[in-house]
Structure 1
Amino acid sequence: MMIYNVKLCQIYLFFLVVLTFFSCKQSAKPDVSHIDLNVKIERFDRDLAQGKSAGLQQTDELLHKKYGAFYDDYMHRMVGNFEYSNTEILSTLYKDQAYYDLNKEADSVFSDMKPIEKELTQTFKYIRYYYPKTSLPRFVAFISGFAVQTPIGDNYMGIGLDMFLGKNSKFYRAIVESVPLYLSRRFRPEYIVPRTTETFAREELFKEQDEDRSLLSKMIYNGKILYFMDQVLPDGTPDSVKIGYTAKQLAWCKTFERDIWGYYLQNDLLFETDYQKIQVFLSEGPFTPGLGEKNESAPKLGIWTGWQIVRKYMQENKQVTLQQLMAEKDMQKILQQSKYKPKS
């Protein structure tokens, strides 16, 4: 009986420790339950499809009345241009079998948007916590024939559902010449919230300054954006999804972090301002030319390195708030005070 009680106590203590651990992990982010905010995603894609059964003029008027600035941008900047009238563009869409097929698949993959709305609600509650004056945009789902993914306009954020159908969608194999597979593999539903958050951060909250032209400046700017995403995205969002890497690419960066940093230093790249020389470390691609063997390196290594510098800076300077970090313009100060020196 005594042995049973001892074991029972041990089990109880074990679960108490586990509970305490996870409670600490969960409490790392602020409590935002008091913030009154609820994201709803409007289904322009469905409204547009349903309009086929009505007259073109009637559909045009109804969509313009309901969606305003988004509808204007959609018709003249996403799927059409100003040379054609709205009714002409609608007529072309409704006659296009590819549009019908694409719309059908998008409606099937995204039959229920509630899980995405829940994640966006939590993310924007965190954003509102840190930046109380932030206005919640209107979220509008649409398909554009792979023209745009997360456009942002006059009080709206678009979510191009056709660019989140899942990496194995038959459509992505058909457009590989214009959209390479290293990009379309990220066209998955789990990328909607991270990409929407990133676009909002870059375009609405923290626009890049024109004077930030050196590789270091661009590293730190992009690193700050990703660190901001760390703080506001739902817990459990993988780093690979935040930055758009495969698990193998992320592992490669961690394995060769010291070598990557050494490459910048040896080639005097940190303060280089010639965009032709530094863009290779900032742009999308299947890999970074010049680093790694057999094209195994990850792309946009400057962005990944900047992320690690900012994370280290915040670890070393715990008194710095997120708002202070995002407002800091002295990129050399962030580097120096980060004490960033990756080990092998």
Structure 2
Amino acid sequence: MIYNVKFHQSYLFFLFVPAFFSLLLVSCTQSTKPDVSEIHLDVKIARFDKDLYTGKANSLDKTNEFLTKKYDVFYDDYVHRMVGNFDYTNEQILTTLYKDSAYTDLNKEVDNVFKDITPIEKDLSESFKYILHYYPKAKVPRFISFVSGFAVQTPIGDNYMGIGLDMFMGKDSKFYKAIVQSVPTYLSRRFTPEYIVPRIAETYAREELFHERDEDRTLLSKMVYNGKILYFMDEVLADIVPDSVKIGYTQKHLDWCKTFESDIWAYYLQNNLLFETDYQKIQVFLAEGPFTPGLGEKNESAPKLGIWTGWQIVRKYMQENKEITLQQLMAEQDAQKILNLSKYKPK
């Protein structure tokens, strides 16, 4: 195998060159959570970031051998896909990392923020118990933490899910202020520890359980697909995870959506957008950004309004059709049917 890494919410801007590091609300779901106490699962996060950093004290050959044996495919993906490429040997990449002071500084910051990751492991265990309750055949991946110089946040590879800890250090981290031109503040404000488990759950849902179909090209179909993903997160995340964190909004964004929900819906209908398939027109309502162009005054609207609306449609669908199970919802591919049966007509 050469590599098999899927990058979700990637922010690739560091290339492997000698100066590699020089730049340096409570959920409103209506369902009651099932009892998962009989499902035994104890997630542990393998600290590749620590093993890689402490490898500085050993010979390159010894460190490379150790990391290859312990991390196998992940290590290969890390050196050749995340921080480097196949033009360089493992030892050359390790040498470049170890010689760069910014790599050292970043690791110290990560170590300071994540001295104890037990709470994260506990929350991951709980979330994947719910996933296994609904999907018993789902395979729980090996979780591996790493530092990549802000290259990628939650990659998935063969039998692993990575956690880029340097992209969860806290919104006030000095490092994020230094990279604002590459990673704008509206993204880095979400680089906090509380986002780790929700982003893992979302990535796992999108990449491992519910792939988006190529034929679903209308805005409505994409609304509903994304709404289903967020509803899935409603069901498998702890009740204490706010809706704002699930979707990546500020509380102000969430309040704006609730205030203008009927106006948002009217805008779609008046502009015949639900069955629009033009990529450029659709992305306005699905893409990350500081706001959604065309709606709201003074750029104060919430971003990716299509995703938020899809979430409300799916929630209303499940509220109106209580006999529908989560599995049946996620298997339903008819977005129009879900909209019709949801009786979604915000006022």
Deviation, structure 1 residue 37: 1.1
Which amino acid is 1:157 matched to? M
Check 1:263–1:320 CA distance in 2 against 1; reply closer, same or farther (3 A cut).
same
> Percent identity, aligned pairs only?
77
Instruction: Measure the CA separation in 2 of the matches of 1:101 and 1:284.
Output: 29
Q: Which residue of 2 aligns with 1:139?
A: 143
Instruction: Measure the CA separation in 1 of the matches of 2:101 and 2:181.
Output: 21
Deviation, structure 1 residue 36: 1.4
Instruction: Measure the CA separation in 1 of the matches of 2:116 and 2:342.
Output: 43
Q: Secondary structure at the match of 2:46?
A: strand
Instruction: Measure the CA separation in 2 of the matches of 1:202 and 1:69.
Output: 21
Which amino acid is 2:107 matched to? N
Structure 1 stretches of at least 4 aligned residues deviating more than 3 Å after TM superposition:
none
Q: Which residue of 1 aligns with 2:10?
A: none
Q: Which residue of 1 aligns with 2:63?
A: 59
Q: Which residue of 1 aligns with 2:237?
A: 233
Instruction: Measure the CA separation in 1 of the matches of 2:162 and 2:341.
Output: 38
Q: Which residue of 2 aligns with 1:150?
A: 154
1:198 paired with 2:202, answer yes
Q: Which runs of 5+ in 1 are unaligned?
A: 1-24
Instruction: Measure the CA separation in 1 of the matches of 2:276 and 2:113.
Output: 45
Q: Secondary structure at the match of 1:220?
A: helix
Q: Which residue of 2 aligns with 1:70?
A: 74
1:103 paired with 2:107, answer yes
Instruction: Measure the CA separation in 2 of the matches of 1:208 and 1:31.
Output: 29
Which amino acid is 2:302 matched to? A
1:221 paired with 2:221, answer no
Q: Secondary structure at the match of 1:83?
A: coil
Query: RMSD over aligned Cα, in angstroms?
Result: 1.0
Deviation, structure 1 residue 268: 0.3
Deviation, structure 1 residue 293: 0.5
Q: Secondary structure at the match of 1:281?
A: coil
How many residues were matched structurally?
Answer: 319
Q: Which runs of 5+ in 2 are unaligned?
A: 1-28
Q: Which residue of 2 aligns with 1:34?
A: 38
Contact 2:30 2:319 in 1 (8 A): no
Instruction: Measure the CA separation in 1 of the matches of 2:95 and 2:122.
Output: 35
Q: Secondary structure at the match of 1:140?
A: strand
Q: Which residue of 2 aligns with 1:88?
A: 92
Contact 2:36 2:133 in 1 (8 A): yes
1:335 paired with 2:323, answer no
Which amino acid is 1:40 matched to? K
Which amino acid is 1:306 matched to? G
TM-score, length of structure 2 as denominator length: 0.91
Instruction: Measure the CA separation in 1 of the matches of 2:301 and 2:103.
Output: 37
Deviation, structure 1 residue 26: 11
Match 2:296 to one of 292, 297, 311:
292
Deviations 1:148-173 (A, max 9, x none): 00000000000000000000000000
1:79 paired with 2:83, answer yes
Q: Which residue of 2 aligns with 1:120?
A: 124
1:173 paired with 2:184, answer no
1:309 paired with 2:313, answer yes
Which amino acid is 1:130 matched to? Y
Listed as ranges, the matches of 1:321-332 within 5 Å are 321-332=325-336
Instruction: Measure the CA separation in 2 of the matches of 1:108 and 1:79.
Output: 22
Q: Secondary structure at the match of 2:301?
A: coil
Instruction: Measure the CA separation in 2 of the matches of 1:48 and 1:161.
Output: 14
Instruction: Measure the CA separation in 1 of the matches of 2:100 and 2:136.
Output: 45
Instruction: Measure the CA separation in 2 of the matches of 1:210 and 1:223.
Output: 17
Instruction: Measure the CA separation in 2 of the matches of 1:27 and 1:135.
Output: 25
Q: Which residue of 1 aligns with 2:255?
A: 251
Q: Which residue of 1 aligns with 2:16?
A: none
Which amino acid is 1:236 matched to? I
Which structure shows the bigger proportion of residues in helix conformation?
1
Deviation, structure 1 residue 135: 0.8
Q: Between Structure 1 and Structure 2, whose CA radius of gyration is higher?
A: 1
Q: Which residue of 2 aligns with 1:274?
A: 278
Instruction: Measure the CA separation in 1 of the matches of 2:53 and 2:30.
Output: 42
Contact 2:146 2:164 in 1 (8 A): yes
Greater RCO, CA 8 A, separation 6+: 2
Bigger drift between 53-62 and 307-316 goes to 53-62
Instruction: Measure the CA separation in 2 of the matches of 1:231 and 1:212.
Output: 24
